[in-house]
Copies of this chain bind each other. A is one copy, B any other.
Amino acid sequence: MSNKPNAIYIMGGGGTQVISASGYGAVQKAFASYRDKIGTFYIAVGGMRGALNEDWCDMFAWALEEGEEKAESRLNRIKWYSAPVFGTSRHKPDSKDSERLLELLKAHNVKYVFLNGGNDTMEKAMILQEFSERKGFPLTVVGVPKTVDNDLLVTHRCPGYASFAKQVAMNTMSVQADLDSFALPEGAVKDSPIKEGAVAQVLVLMGRDEGWGAAAAVAAKIDESYGPHVILTKEGGFNPDKFIKKCQEAYDKYGRLLVVAAEGAHDGESYIGNYLQVASKELNLEFQLHQDAHKNTSVTDSRLGLFLKLLIESKLNIPTHYKGLKVREEGPGYINRSHIEVVSAVDIQDAINVGSKAVELAIGEGKGKVMPILTDKIGEVSYTELCNVADTVKGSRGMTRSLSSLSIDGKSIISEDGMMIDKDLFMQYIGPFMDLNGPNRIELFREEGMKYPLERINFPLIERKLPAYVK
């Protein structure tokens, strides 16, 4: 066994289309540039839970399994996963857990810790670094940013968001084209005896605490006649009457209605999804206000879309040349954040760059308590102090980056009525990084001999050094 210090990489929270590219960036950088400085580079298999259970894999050994000459191409496999290839966890370590983790890190002589995640994870990173200093086994902890939600402060954009935004834009264009095909075309006869059902569409997108995901739908809006005609976010607020009025205006003017809502769409007191009670009489199941297993009222389900559908169908006045209104409703949530095909190649490179930079900062330059950040220039990575991005008060969401915080040239991106996004400003901000007309995954695959479906990689676990965790 070498006496060189070791490193560990831990993923946390929900996936993004490019989170595995960050994992790749970190491991590849360590393997290619720092084998003289570190003994091995561990990953926690299964995120923080795996880290605490000592479910670790030795990535140098894994890379070298078929020899040095095949190592780079083995590592390259990691890059392509559309979800956390090392596994992830939502577990929030308490002080007992921090002690356990420190024991494990000591036992394995791990000095460099990379925590890959969002705001919560950045907070954990800072706490762990301070804790290790107090305990006399000082660590070099670096945060690696990821989130589809784009709700990290300081960084220009968060790896994962641009791909999510691209997928949202494409989905919106898709339902729009379908919706358009049922609308009355320009110059068509309206007052004929041929009456059809009018069609409108509700699209619900991920984003509980902010509306970045829903905002991206605006990329599909070619002019005022194109949807989305309404975009609901948590930031924008919600009022049923004002909402219906805006829907009515769009339908009257364009004969089309496409509503996009963030799952966190909110009236100031409650998530709008909570407006809907659901129950099953047949099976005698009552779910007056559905709570998930964590006793949180779940908004990541279809209640919001279904409620908006029912509301619009009940309240919208449809011109007499229609025989009624059908509102279609759908909400691709987990598909959007992990789509294996639709991805931004710029975002993949962003993700690789932050992973790689994290390792450079920690191992190359000995910098801890930092997080690499993306600047507004393609390919450029800088870094910031972790305290600039982490919530300092546990549980506080005060540091979450809200959509309403984005203003360009002094103008807010959210319309005055709170129910629309300014397309020009939005595209100015994220357009080049979404890379809407760039390659998607299968094109990138082809260059490297990969193909669908991708099998999961079962990373072999190391022999454990400590007794099982007992709390």
Binding site for B on A (CB under 8 A): 11, 14-15, 45-46, 48-50, 52-55, 81-85, 87-91, 97, 169-171, 173-175, 177-189, 191-194, 196-198, 201, 219-220, 222, 240, 274-283, 285, 287, 290, 292-294, 298, 300-303, 305-307, 309-311, 313-314, 323-326, 328-335, 337-342, 436-440, 442-443, 445-446, 451-456, 458-461, 468-471
**Smallest beta-carbon distance A454→chain B, Å:** 7
This protein's copies in its complex = 2
**CB atoms of A310 and B287 under 8 A apart:** yes
**Smallest beta-carbon distance A55→chain B, Å:** 4
**CB atoms of A332 and B330 under 8 A apart:** yes
**CB atoms of A174 and B307 under 8 A apart:** no
**CB atoms of B50 and A188 under 8 A apart:** yes
Q: Which B-chain residue is minimally distant from A310 (CB atoms)?
A: B287
Name 14 interchain pairs, CB-CB below 8 A, sorted by A.
A53-B189, A53-B192, A54-B189, A171-B339, A193-B469, A197-B294, A277-B278, A280-B307, A292-B324, A300-B328, A301-B306, A302-B331, A330-B334, A437-B451
Q: Which B-chain residue is minimally distant from A464 (CB atoms)?
A: B189
Q: In the complex, what distance in Å separates the CA atom of A333 from the CA atom of B333?
A: 13
| Chain B neighbourhood of A83, CB < 8 A | 174, 177-178, 180-181
**CB atoms of A454 and B177 under 8 A apart:** yes
A181-B83, A293-B325 known; A53-B170 Cβ under 8 A: no
Q: In the complex, what distance in Å separates the CA atom of A89 from the CA atom of B50?
A: 54
**CB atoms of B326 and A292 under 8 A apart:** yes
**CB atoms of A188 and B330 under 8 A apart:** no
**CB atoms of B174 and A459 under 8 A apart:** no
